[in-house]
Chain A
Amino acid sequence: MSAVGVERASLRRLLPARAAAELLAPFGRLLPAARMRLRRADGELHAEAVGEAWHEPGVARTWPLAIDAVEVGLLVIDPAPRTDAEEAAVEVLLGALRRALTAAHAQRAMAGETLERYREIHLLYRVGDALAGTLDPAAVPRRVLAEARGVIDGDGGGVWLADADGDGAPGARERIVVEGPSAAPSDGAGLRARLADPELPAIVAAGPGAPEHLLWAPMMAREACLGGVWLTRAGDDAVFAAGDLKLLTALATQAAAFLDNARLHQRALAQERLEQELRLAYTVQARLMPRETPAVANWSVAGFWRPAREVSGDFYDLLPVGDALGVVVADVADKGMPAALFMAVTRSLLRAAATGGRTPSQTVADTNRLAALDASDGMFVTLWYGVLRPDGEVRYVNAGHNPPIVLRADGRVERLPRTGILVGWDADAPYGEGVVTLAQGDLLVAFTDGVTEARDPHGNEFGEGRLLEIVSAHRRADAQAVLDAVRSALDAFVADAPTHDDCTLVVARFGTPPRVG
């Protein structure tokens, strides 16, 4: 690798020959009998000035010229000064030479430092260019390692990645990418110590148990340590320099930002895929809700279902049971995809169990037995299943569900209490049956707790009282109108507050002609 602008001090670089000759020339008058020469550290003649009265070489005297204790050349006065005046002149000349060398050295050091910054800037440009558009996190480690090895001499090197989820904890699912002949990650106590404390950049000299010198830079992004990059080098004089560490740190920081971005992109992609799947699942699930009400004499029925997220653990179902109508309102004790899957299973089991003239209690008991087999991961469902007969009789099972409300035409309120425990808990649980008979103008309202526990922006619950109030106010309307009134009131109440639970509501009115849709 070239070392532009950072080589050791030399007379030739510090005081070019022409400038040196110009500096010596005026001293020819002060030392007329002398020949003044500047020799380089390798002995070569660099510049000279000859006094007017100088004749031939005599016994010379030399003075070393040094910068930072490194000899860069010699001043040779031939013959050696003999008088005090000549000694004084030589002192003045030495002073002028040393000042010129020191000033040039300082300027060169500054320029060297600036060139180092230039080099860093361009390294970062280059890495930035190379990694721009890299959305694959796996591509970053090899790239950063290749760039590091391109700018810093080393025998080998590696990249250590902390937990891919980015918590930075060493040892958690760490992955190491290694290149080069002598960079096995187990090599050396130095590397093991860095892996235990990865956030500190370090130059570690070889020592007992560590055959190679080590250079370590952490990959920090958003104050988290995503990993680290290291280079190794063998040889007594090969310890890494501070400039190497600065470069590697700049590189590692740059790489960390790209790694972080690539990971965020991957997560966003995964999230997008998941959301797409959920949207699809919603479509599938929405199709499971009744699209029309099977005809049953003397009843009008309307239902409403709204998931809190894309998919729901709530459902309602309307199924013909002979000349009667089976109504299910159910709530799986969870939300999201697992609840949605369990909801679909429960719905199918109940539909299958309801056939063949089984009573509500037999239907729910069968459903429960089969659901309990599938519910090993703690998935349960509360449900109300009632069979609405044309004569107004309702036989029902309430499996741990909120008691539905019967609002009589004269304003009295009755509740349909639990007749068994929630479905899926105990395969052998017994389910009793309740019976209620509705008369002309009576309303039956079954719902999930998402309705009564819906919250407004201040955190207040909608509550059963409010539900009852609205239903009462509309009790002379048909089922769909009652349902619409509840839904509007619920929407107005919740306003823009976040929805936490699925909402399901079924309203059935006895004594009006059956409706479709």
Chain B
Amino acid sequence: MPKLLIADDEPHIRTLLQQTLETLEDDGVELLMEADGAAALERIRRERPDVAFLDVMMPRMNGYDVCAAVRADPDLAHVRVVLLTAKGQEADRQRGADVGAHLYLTKPFDPDALLETAERLLGLG
């Protein structure tokens, strides 16, 4: 069963991301939710999701560091990481690429584009 992890410390954004991606559940995808970077990394190590959407600015561990830790672990080579950040901070895009993120999306996100991205990374549709 494919798994997709969503990590964002902002509960409203988590709700929005979940509500955007929940149709994936109809395709058998399991959605995992976490509220900080350290918990997200632990969950990724435990559940080994196919895709992880990570907010950049999170308590305990930011999205870059989670991504770098995932990339440093050969067992997690299959995990595709998408970093999410506020609109206007596109300058950080390079940093996202440097730590091995597959994609870099800005918030407010385009719901349709986000869902399409998730489907593509999961090899659906």
Q: Is the CB of B113 within 8 A of A5?
A: no
Q: Decide yes or no whether B19 CB sits under 8 A from chain A.
A: yes
> Once bound together, how far apart are the Cα atoms of A7 and B24, in whole Å?
13
B residues within 8 A CB of A2? 23, 112, 115
B17 to chain A, nearest CB (A): 10
A306 to chain B, nearest CB (A): 55
Q: Is the CB of A118 within 8 A of B19?
A: no
> Once bound together, how far apart are the Cα atoms of A125 and B113, in whole Å?
13
Interface residue SS majority, chain A: helix
Q: Is the CB of A108 within 8 A of B109?
A: no
> Once bound together, how far apart are the Cα atoms of A2 and B111, in whole Å?
10
Residue from B19, B111, B112, B114 in contact with A108 in the complex, judged by beta carbons closer than 8 Å: B19
Complex A-B: 30 CB contacts under 8 Å:
A2-B115, A4-B19, A4-B111, A4-B114, A4-B115, A5-B16, A5-B19, A5-B111, A12-B25, A13-B22, A107-B15, A108-B19, A111-B16, A114-B16, A115-B19, A115-B20, A115-B111, A117-B108, A118-B109, A118-B110, A118-B111, A119-B110, A119-B111, A119-B112, A121-B108, A121-B110, A122-B108, A122-B110, A122-B112, A122-B113
Question: Which residue of B is nearest A125, CB measured?
Answer: B110
Q: Is the CB of A111 within 8 A of B110?
A: no
Contacts from A to B (Cβ < 8 Å) = 2, 4-5, 7, 12-13, 107-108, 111-112, 114-115, 117-119, 121-122, 125
B residues within 8 A CB of A119? 110-112
> Once bound together, how far apart are the Cα atoms of A117 and B111, in whole Å?
10
Question: Which residue of B is nearest A112, CB measured?
Answer: B19
Q: Mark B61-91, 1 if CB is under 8 A from A, else 0.
A: 0000000000000000000000000000000
Q: Is the CB of A111 within 8 A of B112?
A: no
B residues within 8 A CB of A107? 15
* Interface residues in B97-119 (C-beta closer than 8 Å to A): 108-115
Chain B CB within 10 Å — which of A4, A119, A122, A125 has the most? A4
Interface residue SS majority, chain B: helix
Q: Is the CB of B20 within 8 A of A4?
A: yes
Q: Is the CB of B15 within 8 A of A4?
A: no
B residues within 8 A CB of A122? 108-110, 112-113
Known: A111-B16, A115-B111. 15 other contacts (CB 8 A): A2-B23, A2-B112, A4-B19, A4-B20, A12-B25, A107-B15, A111-B19, A112-B19, A115-B16, A115-B20, A118-B108, A119-B110, A119-B112, A122-B112, A122-B113
> Once bound together, how far apart are the Cα atoms of A112 and B23, in whole Å?
13
User: Given A107-B15, A111-B16, does the pair A4, B108 have CB atoms closer than 8 Å?
Assistant: no
Q: Mark B1-36, 1 if CB is under 8 A from A, else 0.
A: 000000000001001100110110100000000000
A residues within 8 A CB of B113? 122
Q: Is the CB of B109 within 8 A of A4?
A: no
> Once bound together, how far apart are the Cα atoms of A478 and B21, in whole Å?
94
B122 to chain A, nearest CB (A): 15
Residue from A4, A12, A117, A121 in contact with B112 in the complex, judged by beta carbons closer than 8 Å: A4
> Once bound together, how far apart are the Cα atoms of A12 and B25, in whole Å?
10
B89 to chain A, nearest CB (A): 16
> Once bound together, how far apart are the Cα atoms of A451 and B109, in whole Å?
68
> Once bound together, how far apart are the Cα atoms of A119 and B16, in whole Å?
12
B residues within 8 A CB of A5? 16, 19-20, 111
List the 9 closest pairs (A to B, CB-CB), nearest first.
A122-B110, A4-B111, A5-B19, A118-B108, A115-B111, A111-B19, A111-B15, A4-B20, A111-B16
> Once bound together, how far apart are the Cα atoms of A255 and B125, in whole Å?
32
> Once bound together, how far apart are the Cα atoms of A172 and B90, in whole Å?
46
> Once bound together, how far apart are the Cα atoms of A387 and B12, in whole Å?
94
A residues within 8 A CB of B115? 2, 4
B residues within 8 A CB of A108? 19
> Once bound together, how far apart are the Cα atoms of A242 and B23, in whole Å?
23
Q: Mark B32-44, 1 if CB is under 8 A from A, else 0.
A: 0000000000000
A residues within 8 A CB of B111? 4-5, 115, 118-119
A residues within 8 A CB of B114? 4
B73 to chain A, nearest CB (A): 28
A residues within 8 A CB of B25? 12
B residues within 8 A CB of A114? 12, 16
Question: Which residue of A is nearest B115, CB measured?
Answer: A4
